[in-house]
Structure 1
Amino acid sequence: MKLSNTPVDSINMFDRDIFIKRDDLLHPEFSGNKARKFAYFLARDFPSVEKLIGYGSPQANSLYSMSALAKLRGWELDFYVDHVAAHIKTQTEGNYVAARANGANIIDLSECPDREGRSSEQYITDKILVDEPNALFVPEGGRCEYAEFGVAQLAKEIIDWAEETSQQTLTVFLPSGTGTTALFLNKYFIESNVNIRVLTCACVGGDDYLNLQFTELSQEKAFHPKIISLPKKYHFGKLYRECYEMWKRVGEQGIEFELLYDPIGWLTLEAYVNHCGEHGPIMYLHQGGLLGNCSMLPRYKRKFG
């Protein structure tokens, strides 16, 4: 099971070479960056744990990765979602279907009469964890201190590669949901006193939301990555022609990316490269998540051809 030491490739985008850290080549059951975030749970013993509890979208990469983790460790998985749309229940591929096949118990909170307006996290805290002494709770997208363990390994790999290839400086770019990977990467680079810094963009909830996630993970502002903003607001999960065109454009370079985060990431990186005058080496972190393309791509094709 490959969970570390991924290669670095190079593609030509925006009239320059961009290095690609190929975390999409990690074991497919852990879907790229989830292999890093969940590495702690594979490396440690949890003798009292019998169940994994999480929450998020019914199409999230984290749902499938948590189902794979639970299956591997012999745990149950209870995964709470706000709502499962009818079209998701009829899918034959994707994260939802694969997680169910792994034995995940996906709980639709819209059908729970005692929810009483609570968020998924609050419902789990108030109603579930009090009666689950042998459960391990993982916040949405793996946003927790445990993720630092695996992300530190990723940072070490990038530092080693930069030294081996004589990169005097390096900018690492990745699109963010909760910002966990970006924050812990940047923290490790700063603490290691290397000339590598992280840039990111908000794909869920905007810049204010992402800054809040950074603060919850670390009060030290110096560790927070720089957020690059686009003038246009992109709503998470909504289909945009320019996102589809960017996805196809970068795919022509021979590497497939996923369709939720990466199109926003590449659009942001293009704007950054074209307007900031950045000429130093850039590494794009490919975080995997390709399993979701089998449900996203038909939606794009139906809308845009």
Structure 2
Amino acid sequence: MILNNSPVTQHRFQDIEFFLKRDDKLHSQFSGNKARKFKQLLNIENPEITTIIGYGSAQANSLYSLASLACIKGWQLEFYVDHIPNWLKEKPIGNYRGALDLGAKVIAVSELSLEPIHPKDFIETIRKPSNDCIRVPEGGRFSMAEFGVRELGEEILHWTKYESGQDFVVALPSGTGTTSLYLNKVLKPHGINVVTCPCVGGADYLTEQFNELDENSHPEILTLKDKHHFGRLYQEDYVIWKQLLEDTYVEFDLLYDPMMWRCLLEHKHYFEGKTLIYVHQGGILGNESMLPRYQRKWDQAH
């Protein structure tokens, strides 16, 4: 399976002209940020492997991506979560629905243990995976992610050779920061800066995530003036998401991309005289659950 060479399209949003690396177009199911991070798993040719094990939330992008990967490889996905809300069980939606449709087993540890236990600890102490299993850390924060992200970086470098004479900067939001860190490792030596924003925690948290992957050179971190809590609904995020869709005719992820674009607009001076390349994060299936929450809160109020 070939998962590379996603197209690059040109757009304008407000007064920012940019190129968009369309990693949402890599594959109908296995695409975006997680496809890059999990790509090396596709190359595993070990007949003993039957199961892939991950953990996170019931609406994590990684859940759907790992379910897609397992389906492609003929493996069983076991994905451990703290809990699954009753409403979601009754009416599956978003990444959870997509993963179930692909045959994933989504397992709530709160229903299996009398004492509170983190899904990671449950896997290690109770599930105890054998040699026929592959374990993937939450969000794909592991060194194996470098393989696919390096390919992404090399694609960007190849594309920039045909756009000579420009000072490029690459932008993408961060959860664990794995993609931005390894992308910076590829692009920085060629004079292309990578900028990101901390969607899950603050700048200090993101720096800690970078340090755990033992890389000395880090992307530049942009932050908003006001604190931004992961998963909370912000009207500014919704407005910018709708404006992006209207201006570019491209649907972006509702959880990560709006914060990155707010940072880009807040720090516009950083891009003066530079050409922006934005990496699409995929994760569009997650909008199936996020968008109704935004619509209920703001659209129906008017």
Measured against the shorter chain, the TM-score band is over 0.9
Counterparts of 1:42-191 in structure 2, within 5 Å, are 42-113=42-113, 116-129=115-128, 131-190=129-188
Equivalent position of 2:286 in the other structure: 292
Deviations 1:238-289 (A, max 9, x none): 111110000011111211101110111111111111x446331111110111
Counterpart among 200, 212, 230 of residue 208 in structure 2: 212
Q: Distance in 2 between matches of 1:90 and 1:278?
A: 50
Deviation, 1:77, is: 1.1
1:261 and 2:260 aligned: no
Equivalent position of 1:24 in the other structure: 24
User: Residues 2 and 256 from structure 1, CA distance in 2 versus in 1: closer, same or farther, beyond 3 angstroms?
Assistant: farther
Deviation, 1:158, is: 0.3
User: Residues 183 and 86 from structure 1, CA distance in 2 versus in 1: closer, same or farther, beyond 3 angstroms?
Assistant: same
1:10 and 2:4 aligned: no
CA contact (8 A) 1:147 1:180 kept: yes
Equivalent position of 1:282 in the other structure: 276
Counterpart among 221, 226, 229 of residue 216 in structure 2: 221
1:235 and 2:229 aligned: yes
Give runs of ≥4 in structure 1 deviating > 4 Å: none
SS at match of 1:203: coil
User: Aligned letter for 1:245?
Assistant: V
SS at match of 2:35: helix
Q: Distance in 2 between matches of 1:303 and 1:153?
A: 40
- Stretches of structure 1 lacking an aligned partner (at least 5 in a row): none
Q: Distance in 2 between matches of 1:279 and 1:245?
A: 27
Deviation, 1:43, is: 2.1
Equivalent position of 1:302 in the other structure: 296
User: Aligned letter for 1:164?
Assistant: Y
CA contact (8 A) 1:68 1:99 kept: yes
User: Residues 2 and 88 from structure 1, CA distance in 2 versus in 1: closer, same or farther, beyond 3 angstroms?
Assistant: farther
User: Residues 46 and 303 from structure 1, CA distance in 2 versus in 1: closer, same or farther, beyond 3 angstroms?
Assistant: same
Q: Distance in 2 between matches of 1:132 and 1:44?
A: 17
Q: Distance in 2 between matches of 1:301 and 1:2?
A: 37
SS at match of 1:178: coil
Deviation, 1:62, is: 0.8
SS at match of 1:245: helix
User: Aligned letter for 1:52?
Assistant: I
CA contact (8 A) 2:109 2:117 kept: no
- Stretches of structure 2 lacking an aligned partner (at least 5 in a row): none
CA contact (8 A) 1:168 1:195 kept: no
Q: Distance in 2 between matches of 1:7 and 1:167?
A: 21
Once structures 1 and 2 are overlaid, which stretch shifts more, 260-269 or 161-170?
161-170
Equivalent position of 1:246 in the other structure: 240
User: Residues 16 and 277 from structure 1, CA distance in 2 versus in 1: closer, same or farther, beyond 3 angstroms?
Assistant: closer
Once structures 1 and 2 are overlaid, which stretch shifts more, 140-149 or 119-128?
119-128
Deviations 1:165-188 (A, max 9, x none): 115421100001111110110011
Deviation, 1:39, is: 1.1
CA contact (8 A) 2:52 2:133 kept: yes
TM-score, structure 2 normalization: 0.94
SS at match of 1:133: coil
Once structures 1 and 2 are overlaid, which stretch shifts more, 160-169 or 251-260?
160-169
CA contact (8 A) 2:4 2:26 kept: yes
SS at match of 2:267: helix
1:202 and 2:198 aligned: yes
Q: Distance in 2 between matches of 1:53 and 1:40?
A: 15
Q: Distance in 1 between matches of 2:205 and 2:48?
A: 35
TM-score, structure 1 normalization: 0.93
